[in-house]
């Protein structure tokens, strides 16, 4: 069988491609808006174009005899989605609808979708299960939740096995070349401050958590990729699957703890972290329950936080050669 990987030239997509390429025939569709062609391994064909281009999709699905799709392409910046909701709905929802329409028309029977813990909003629970109510706080989170509904409804109507994978806080890299280039998550944000010889910032230390800073579930991008391999196998053998699964480690780490590890790994001698006011809309704690993915896919995360930070730092230094060792 052949899998189409949309967004395969991006940060997460290139890790999924690297792992799935060992098992399956692949073709990547990416408009390279944030992706890079040189992230793809040799032998994996890249079609440059958008998931909004229906004619192109029909051609790719037919030319490559695609039987399954992993839809990772999307826009992911929460703050930008607040300023440009129409753009986010077009890219993330219209893009997905166009792709599903093409997939149903071409008789594709397996569909995996990149969702996000952003669908939960501000969950007031110790561990977030897939049954925790979804109340997204941003247009970005809304597009992911609407996307899950579209995927499930299409799967039921068109005999497609489906899985929506809710990633928690993704970090790390399999190699320096594949590292995240965006500065939207905690780890690269701290790297950026250190490089500028500025103090890392912690937003709020008066949350009801053990050290007062926010707690999140950080998961290595290699673990995210291996969960896709497991999910793809499951969908191939279970035509009626309709899965919604958290992907996390099931363990929280606080912002202060993460910053401490980053300072240690980078050997920073710059100014110590400063604590400011809370940011609006930041939940105190968001940690995944990972029981369902363990039961459904026999999968669990293998990498710890230090490995995530070390591998992300190797990627940062590759792209910022002036940074001292």
Ligand X SMILES: NC(=O)c1ccc[n+]([C@@H]2O[C@H](COP(=O)([O-])OP(=O)(O)OC[C@H]3O[C@@H](n4cnc5c(N)ncnc54)[C@H](O)[C@@H]3O)[C@@H](O)[C@H]2O)c1
Given the rule CB under 6 A, which residues bind ligand X?
A: 6-7, 9-13, 29-35, 50-52, 72-74, 76, 91, 95, 114, 116, 167, 170, 185
Catalytic residue among 120, 140, 167, 218: 140
* 140 is an active site residue: yes
Nearer to ligand X, 47 or 127 (CB): 47
> Given the complex with ligand X, which of 6 and 268 has the nearer CB atom?
6
How near is the Cβ of 264 to ligand X at its closest, in Å?
23
Q: Which residues contact 235 (CB under 8 A, 6 or more apart)?
A: 68, 110, 111, 112, 161, 162, 163, 241
Kindly state the smallest distance separating residue 206's Cβ from ligand X, in Å.
26
Instruction: Kindly state the smallest distance separating residue 116's Cβ from ligand X, in Å.
Output: 4
Considering the complex, state which of residue 95 and residue 205 has its C-beta at the smaller distance from ligand X.
95
Q: How far is the CB of 73 from ligand X (least distance, A)?
A: 3
What is the smallest separation between the CB atom of 203 and ligand X, expressed in angstroms? 18
Q: Which is nearer to ligand X, 13 or 205 (CB)?
A: 13
Q: How far apart are CA 205 and CA 217, in angstroms?
A: 18
| Complex with ligand X: residue 21 or 268, whichever CB lies closer | 21
Could you give the residue numbers annotated as active site?
Answer: 140
């Amino acid at each position: 069988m052949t899998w189409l990987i949309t967004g395969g030239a991006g940060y997460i997509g290139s890790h999924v491609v690297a792992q799935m390429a060992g098992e399956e025939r692949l073709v990547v569709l990416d408009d390279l808006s944030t992706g890079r062609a040189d992230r793809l391994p040799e032998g994996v064909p890249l079609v440059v174009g958008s998931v909004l281009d229906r004619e192109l999709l029909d051609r790719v699905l037919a030319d490559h005899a695609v039987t399954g799709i992993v839809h990772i392409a999307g826009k992911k910046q929460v703050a930008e989605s607040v300023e440009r909701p129409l753009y986010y709905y077009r890219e993330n929802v219209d893009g997905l609808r166009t792709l599903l329409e093409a997939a149903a028309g071409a008789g594709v029977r397996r569909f995996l979708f990149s969702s996000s813990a952003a669908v939960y909003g501000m969950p007031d629970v110790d561990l977030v299960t897939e049954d925790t109510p979804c109340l997204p706080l941003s247009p970005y989170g809304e597009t992911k939740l609407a996307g899950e509904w579209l995927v499930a409804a299409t799967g039921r109507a068109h005999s497609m096995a489906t899985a929506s994978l809710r990633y928690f806080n993704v970090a790390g890299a399999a190699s320096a070349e594949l590292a995240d280039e965006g500065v939207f998550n905690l780890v690269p944000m701290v790297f950026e401050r250190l490089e500028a010889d500025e103090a890392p910032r912690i937003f709020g230390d008066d949350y009801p958590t053990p050290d007062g800073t926010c707690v999140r579930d950080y998961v290595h991008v290699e673990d995210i990729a291996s969960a896709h391999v497991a999910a793809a196998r499951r969908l191939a053998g279970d035509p009626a699957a309709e899965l919604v699964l958290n992907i996390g480690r099931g363990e929280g780490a606080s912002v202060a703890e993460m910053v401490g590890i980053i300072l240690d790994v980078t050997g920073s001698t710059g100014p110590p972290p400063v604590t400011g006011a809370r940011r609006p809309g930041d939940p105190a704690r968001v940690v995944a329950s990972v029981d369902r993915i363990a039961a459904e896919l026999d999968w669990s995360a293998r990498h710890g936080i230090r490995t995530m930070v070390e591998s992300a730092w190797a990627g940062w230094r590759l792209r910022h050669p002036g940074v001292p060792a």
